[in-house]
Structure 1
Amino acid sequence: MTKMLTAAAAAVLMTTPLMAENRIDLQRPDAPELAAPGDHVIGVRTLTFTDPGRPDVVNATAEGEVPTYDREITVEVWYPAAEGTEPGGTYDGVFLRDGTTQVSLTGQAARDAAPAEGTFPLILISHGYPGNRFLMSHLGENLATKGYVVVSADHPDSTYDDMNAFTSTLVNRPLDQAFLVESMATLDDEIGAITDADQTGVIGYSMGGYGALIFGGGGLSQEAVTRDAPDAFVPPQDLLDRNATGSEELTALVDPRVKAIVAIGPWGRNRAFFDADSLKGLEKPLLLVAGSVDDVSQYDAIRQIFEETTATDRMLLTFAGANHNAAAPMPAPAESWAMSEALGWAPFEHYADAVWDTTRMNNVLQHFATAFMDTHLKGDADKAAYFDLIENAEDGVWSMDDAGQPKPDNTYWKGFGNRTAKGLTFEKRTAE
Structure 2
Amino acid sequence: MTRILLAASAALCAAPALAENRIDFVRPDAPELAAHGDHAVGVTTMRFTREEVPDVARASEDGVESYDREITVEVWYPAARGTEPGGSYTALLRDGVTEVQLQGRAARDADPAAEGEFPLVVVSHGYPGNRFLMSHLAENIATKGYVVASVDHPDSTYDDMGAFGSTLVNRPRDQAFVLDRMAGLEDGIGAITDGDTAAVIGYSMGGYGALIFSGAGLTEDFRSSRYAPPQELLEINAHGADSMADLPDDRVRAVVAIGPWGRNRDAWDAESLSAIDTPLMLIAGGVDDVSGYDAIRSIFEETTGTERHLLTFENANHNAAAPMPAPMESWEVSETLGYAPFDHYADPVWDTTRMNNVTQHFVTAFLDLHLKGDAAKADYLDLVPDSADAVWDRAEDGTPNEADSYWTGFPNRTAKGLRFETLPAGE
Q: Could you tell me the TM-score, scaled by structure 1's length?
A: 0.95
Residue 85 (str. 1) matches residue 79 (str. 2): no
- The equivalent residue for 1:3 is none
Q: Does structure 2 conserve the Cα–Cα contact (< 8 Å) formed by 1:220 and 1:244? A: yes
Question: What does 1:102-113 correspond to in 2, within 5 Å?
Answer: 102-113=99-110
Among 370, 377, 387, the residue aligned to 1:383: 377
Among 197, 200, 203, the residue aligned to 1:202: 200
- The equivalent residue for 2:74 is 76
- The equivalent residue for 1:123 is 121
- The equivalent residue for 2:62 is 63
Question: What does 1:151-300 correspond to in 2, within 5 Å?
Answer: 151-227=149-225, 229=226, 233-300=227-294
Which letter maps to 2:371?
L
Distance across 2 between alignment mates of 1:345 and 1:379: 47
Residue 101 (str. 1) matches residue 98 (str. 2): yes
- The equivalent residue for 1:5 is none
Cα–Cα, structure 1 residues 296 and 84, in superposed 2: closer, same or farther, change >3 Å?
A: same
Among 131, 134, 154, the residue aligned to 1:133: 131
Report the 3-state secondary structure (helix = DSSP H, G, I; strand = E; otherwise coil) of the residue aligned with 1:406: coil
Question: What does 1:2-81 correspond to in 2, within 5 Å?
Answer: 14-64=13-63, 66-81=64-79
Shift of 1:13: 6.0
Which letter maps to 1:377?
L
Report the 3-state secondary structure (helix = DSSP H, G, I; strand = E; otherwise coil) of the residue aligned with 2:194: strand
Which letter maps to 1:383?
K
C-alpha offsets along residues 359-390 of structure 1, whole Å, 9 cap, x if unaligned? 00000000000000000000110000001100
Report the 3-state secondary structure (helix = DSSP H, G, I; strand = E; otherwise coil) of the residue aligned with 2:102: strand
- The equivalent residue for 1:312 is 306
C-alpha offsets along residues 57-111 of structure 1, whole Å, 9 cap, x if unaligned? 01212134x211110110110000000111100012x100011111000000000
Shift of 1:187: 1.6
Shift of 1:188: 3.1
Shift of 1:9: 11
Residue 324 (str. 1) matches residue 323 (str. 2): no
The list of structure 1 runs, each at least 4 consecutive aligned residues, that deviate by more than 4 angstroms after superposition, is 8-14
Q: Does structure 2 conserve the Cα–Cα contact (< 8 Å) formed by 1:10 and 1:338? A: no
Report the 3-state secondary structure (helix = DSSP H, G, I; strand = E; otherwise coil) of the residue aligned with 1:58: helix
Q: Does structure 2 conserve the Cα–Cα contact (< 8 Å) formed by 1:78 and 1:151? A: yes
Which letter maps to 2:65?
P
Among 365, 368, 371, the residue aligned to 1:371: 365
Q: Does structure 2 conserve the Cα–Cα contact (< 8 Å) formed by 1:13 and 1:338? A: no
Q: Does structure 2 conserve the Cα–Cα contact (< 8 Å) formed by 1:400 and 1:406? A: yes
Cα–Cα, structure 1 residues 10 and 271, in superposed 2: closer, same or farther, change >3 Å?
A: farther
C-alpha offsets along residues 95-154 of structure 1, whole Å, 9 cap, x if unaligned? 000111110000000000000021100001000000000000000000000000000011
Which letter maps to 2:189?
I
Report the 3-state secondary structure (helix = DSSP H, G, I; strand = E; otherwise coil) of the residue aligned with 1:24: coil
Q: Does structure 2 conserve the Cα–Cα contact (< 8 Å) formed by 1:9 and 1:338? A: no
Which letter maps to 1:187?
L
Distance across 1 between alignment mates of 2:255 and 2:276: 10
Cα–Cα, structure 1 residues 156 and 11, in superposed 2: closer, same or farther, change >3 Å?
A: farther
Shift of 1:18: 3.1
Residue 407 (str. 1) matches residue 401 (str. 2): yes
C-alpha offsets along residues 220-263 of structure 1, whole Å, 9 cap, x if unaligned? 11211133x3xxx1201110011111111111111110010000
Tell me the number of residue pairs that the alignment of Structure 1 and Structure 2 aligns: 419
Shift of 1:17: 3.0
- The equivalent residue for 2:4 is none
Cα–Cα, structure 1 residues 10 and 177, in superposed 2: closer, same or farther, change >3 Å?
A: farther
Which letter maps to 2:48?
F
Distance across 1 between alignment mates of 2:277 and 2:8: 48
Distance across 1 between alignment mates of 2:343 and 2:356: 16
Distance across 2 between alignment mates of 1:12 and 1:71: 45
Q: Percent identity at matched positions?
A: 66
